[in-house]
Amino acid sequence: MSRSLNLAVIPGDGIGQEVVAQGLKVLSSVLPQDVKLETREYDLGAQRWHRTGETLPDAELTDLKGHDAILLGAIGDPTVPSGVLERGLLLKLRFAFDHYVNLRPSKLFPNTATPLAGRPEIDFVVVREGTEGPYTGNGGSLRTGTPAEVATEVSVNTAYGVERVVRDAFERANSRPRKKLTLVHKNNVLVYAGHLWKNIFDAVAAEYPDVTTDYLHVDAATIFFVTQPERFDVIVTDNLFGDILTDLAAAVTGGIGLAASGNINPTGTFPSMFEPVHGSAPDIAGTGKADPTATILSVALLLRHLGFEPEAVRIEEAVTADLAGRDGTVRTTDEIGDALAARV
């Protein structure tokens, strides 16, 4: 039986273009001969917006739906008003394709620098809710631009939305050796949303007797990310807390150039989307300084999601070996991509 992979590619802005090229290079090197790879590139992002005023037209959204998965570089540019591309493109995709699991693994690879003392063992994954919380756009402003302006940004939490992401996190925890799941929220202050999360978490926990559970308030979690990151295995949390925690997780595990992520629709109704955690890095765009490793590790997540497990493992092993060999010699984006493509 011949296999195929029909991939949508959104390089986007700034270094997004540079790192996605390397991700595709490694992808074509790692795929076995019998897999037919088809890619279609979408011109979306700041340049498109400047040219046409469009962020993500419905026709392209419909077209994107027909792919097995989406590989995205980064979206965002200082010449576009803040929020236009983030809401109109990135969040629109996550909501339209019901990416309710935002998966962000954090691992401290050998020979990578961490700002933490004593080189703790770090290997955890954050399951961030991706379609609810304060990110739904449920809010507005009154008397805008006057000294009496009022703004609301309501955090939306549904039992349905919380239960499905909590179940996904229990499944992931149950399939890992340590089988530990930590719920992070702030239920001492955010009592309505917090209790909904905690009650559902406890109810689902009863179905997973092998999984050890823990609860932390988000502020305490930031302390433990720095002082005791080895205590974490799988973490489940809401959209905003997960956004903030995963930048901290990237910082303690060797930096944003290594942090991969997947916006996953576990039911398979819509294509899942894989992207580095970092943005378009306008400060280094065009200089060849961007590390493509985060994107290449995102390609590994993409392959695992589509059932190409051996290929995902080969990429992760190549990255581990490449990082172990780094001796401070400066390499360009392209050179790192070539080295990883050669290793897989």
Count of helices and strands (H, E) across the chain: 12, 12
Contact partner at residue 243 from Mg ion, ligand NAI, none, CB < 5 to 8 Å by partner kind: Mg ion
Which 3 state secondary structure label does DSSP give 184? Answer: strand
Q: State yes or no: residue 281 binds ligand NAI (CB under 6 A).
A: yes
Within residues 5-34, the interface with ligand NAI by CB under 6 A covers: 15, 19
Torsion-angle region of residue 173: left (phi > 0), alpha (psi -120 to 50) or beta?
alpha
Annotated binding site for Mg(2+): 219, 243, 247
Which residue number, 107 or 186, has a Cβ lying nearer to ligand NAI? 107
Per-residue binding string, ligand NAI, 98-137, x by CB under 6 A, is ----------------------------------------
Token output for 32: 């076995």
Annotated binding site: 94, 104, 128, 219, 243, 247, 279-291
| 229 DSSP 8-state letter | G
Q: Report how far residue 165's alpha carbon sits from residue 100's, in angstroms, rounded to the nearest whole number.
A: 7
Piece of 36-44, 50-58, 82-90, 235-243 that binds Mg ion (CB under 5 A): 235-243
Whether the CB-CB separation of 208 and 170 falls below 8 Å is answered with yes
Q: Report how far residue 25's alpha carbon sits from residue 39's, in angstroms, rounded to the nearest whole number.
A: 12
Q: Report how far residue 317's alpha carbon sits from residue 157's, in angstroms, rounded to the nearest whole number.
A: 38
Binding ligand NAI (rule: CB under 6 A), the pick from 94, 278, 304, 343 is 278
Binding ligand NAI (rule: CB under 6 A), the pick from 20, 23, 49, 76 is 76
Q: Which of 77, 107, 135, 168 is catalytic?
A: 135
Shortest CB 290 distance to ligand NAI, Å = 4
Contact partner at residue 194 from Mg ion, ligand NAI, none, CB < 5 to 8 Å by partner kind: none
Active site residue 13: no
Residue found by looking up tokens 């549904």 in the block: 158
Q: Report how far residue 88's alpha carbon sits from residue 280's, in angstroms, rounded to the nearest whole number.
A: 16
Residues that bind Mg ion (CB under 5 A): 243
